[in-house]
Amino acid sequence: MNMKLQDRYDYIEPGDPKHEALYERMLKKEEMSEYYTGVTTTGIACRFGCSAAPPQKDNTVFSKRLFDLITFGFRECKVCRPLTYGTERDEVETFAELILKADHPEKYLKQVSPGDTSYRAAKRWFEQKHDGDLQKYMYVKRVNHLLKSENNQDSEYTNIITYQRYWTPIGVLIACFYEGECCLLEFMDRRALETELLFLKRKLNAHFKKRAGGVSRQLGKELKEYFTGERQTFTVPVASIGTAFQLQAWDALKEIPYGTTRSYKGQAEHLGRPTAVRAVANANGKNRICILIPCHRVIGDNGDLRGYAGGLDRKQFLLELEKSKGLQ
C-alpha cells in the first residue's frame, strides 16, 4: 500500500493518543514546524506555538500540513501568519499575500507567465515549506470562498444543497446532498471542483449550506469503515446528474466488484459499445461521486493506472486497499 501518501496526511482530533501530548506542548508555546493547529470553534488555522490565546482542548485539532487544514475549511490566522511565516524573500511574501487577500486567487496565475520569477519562486517555496502544490492551494481557497459566501448569505434560491467535509487517510473529501441523496463526493483539491459545484447549483436551482443530517452522518460512518477495510459496499443513496450515456457508464462502474478492476475497453464492451472506449473514458472523468461510484477501478488495457482526477497516487492507494482487504 502507498504508505508515503498515507503518511503525508495526519489529522489529530481529541481522543487520539497523540492529541494530549501535542496540546500540552502547544500550551507551552513550543515551536514545532511539524504540525499546525486548527481551532474548530473559529475555523482558524495557526502555526504551532501561535501567540494568540490558546483554544480549549476539545476545540483543537492538529495536522502535519497547513494545506490540509485549509482543505477542511479552516482559514489562515492573522496573528501567526502560518502561510508566510519564515519567508524572507520579498517576491514570495508579495505573491503569498495576494493569495490571502484575493477572493479569487487563481486570477493571479493568469497575470503571470510560467517563467515569471515571482511565481516560480513562490511555487518552489510552497512545495518546500508546505509540502504541497501552490496551484491546488489556490483552487481550494477559491472553493472555500464560494462555500463561505453561499453559507453566510440569503439566496434567491429556495432549494438547498447541503455539504460536509470528511477527513480520510489520503486527503479531505467534500460531499454534497440534495433531497436525501449524495450528488457529489470529491477530493477538495480537485481542479474541477468549483466548476462541478457551480454546475450543481445551476442544475438544481439551489444554494449551498453546511448542514449535517442523517445521510451525511451515514456517509461519514461508511467512509471510515471503507478506509479501515471493514466495508466493501455503500448503502448511501446517490443521485448522479448527466447524459443518458454518462448514467449508463456510471451504472456500469457500480457493477465492478470490490477488489477487482476492469479496462476502459472492457467497460465499453460491457455497455455493448465496444468502439466507444474514448467516450467511456470521458464519461468516467465526469463522474462527480468518487469511491461510491468506483471509477478508480478502471485501468488501461496493459494494467497501467490512467486518468483519475483525484490523482494517480490516490487511485493506486484505493486499488491496493481493496485488493488487500478483498483477499482476507
Q: List Cβ neighbours of 232 (8 Å cut-off, separation of 6 or more).
A: 226, 258, 259, 322, 325, 326
Q: Is the pLDDT of residue 104 over 60?
A: no
Q: What is the pLDDT of residue 139?
A: 85
Residue 96 confidence class, pLDDT cut points 50, 70, 90: low
Per-residue pLDDT of 31-60, as tens digits, reads 788 899 999 999 999 999 898 899 999 999
Q: What is the pLDDT of residue 138?
A: 82
**Four-residue CA torsion sign, 318, 322, 323, 324:** positive
Region 120-139 average pLDDT: 83
Region 120-146 average pLDDT: 85
Does 295 qualify as catalytic in the annotation? yes
Q: What is the pLDDT of residue 328?
A: 55
Q: Is the pLDDT of residue 61 over 90?
A: yes
Residue 101 confidence class, pLDDT cut points 50, 70, 90: low
Q: What is the pLDDT of residue 114?
A: 45
Catalytic residue (choose from 80, 182, 290, 295): 295
Q: Is the pLDDT of residue 1 over 80?
A: no
Q: What is the pLDDT of residue 269?
A: 95
Closest by alpha carbon to 280, among 303, 252, 239, 313? 252
| Stated pTM of the model | 0.90
Q: How far apart are CA 216 and CA 225, in angstroms?
A: 14
Residue 205 confidence class, pLDDT cut points 50, 70, 90: very high
How, if at all, do strands 298-299 and 262-263 pair? parallel
Amino acid at 131: D
The dihedrals phi and psi of 149, each to the nearest 5 degrees, come to: -65, -35
Percent of the chain with pLDDT over 90: 64
Region 249-269 average pLDDT: 95
Q: What is the pLDDT of residue 162?
A: 96
Q: List Cβ neighbours of 89 (8 Å cut-off, separation of 6 or more).
A: 121, 125
Q: How far is CA 206 from CA 85, 211, 293, in A?
A: 39, 14, 23
- Domains for the chain: give ranges and CATH numbers: 3-76 (3.40.10.10), 90-143 (no CATH), 155-328 (1.10.10.10)
Region 100-129 average pLDDT: 62
SS (H, E, C) the chain: CCHHHHHHCCEECCCCHHHHHHHHHHHCCCCCCCCEEEECCCCEEEECCCCCCCCCHHHEEEECCHHHHHHCCCEECCCCCCCCCCCCCHHHHHHHHHHHHCCCCCHHHHHCCCCCHHHHHHHHHHHHHHCCCHHHHHHHHHHHHHHHHHHCCCCCCCEEEEEEEEEECCEEEEEEEECCEEEEEEECCCCCHHHHHHHHHHHHCEEEEECCCHHHHHHHHHHHHHHCCCCCCCCCCECCCCCHHHHHHHHHHHCCCCCCCEEHHHHHHHCCCCCCHHHHHHHHHCCCECCCCCHHHEECCCCCCCCCCCCHHHHHHHHHHHHHHHCC
